[in-house]
Amino acid sequence: MSAVRRRVRVHGDVQGVAFRDSTARRARQRGVAGWVANRADGTVEAAFEGEPDAVDSLVEFARSGPSLARVERVDVSEERPEGLSGFEVR
């Protein structure tokens, strides 16, 4: 199965609630490469790259986030895989 890549932008109360750390932990557990970062506008942005089912599971997690997060909307776009390895919190 070939790798896929999805970029997500998560809107709502998503900063200061361990969103990045929770996302990174799940990504590493599932073997998904990429990154996650807080943005100045209060959103969280992430890129997930890997096996389709694993990437889909991370996109689904972004729709709810950790227990203290209040996700209002998630924008998802498909991108060309870059061959990333590892997952980082930016």
Distance, in Å, from the CA atom of 38 to the CA atom of 49, rounded to the nearest integer, reads 18
| Catalytic residue ranges | 20, 38
Distance, in Å, from the CA atom of 66 to the CA atom of 13, rounded to the nearest integer, reads 11
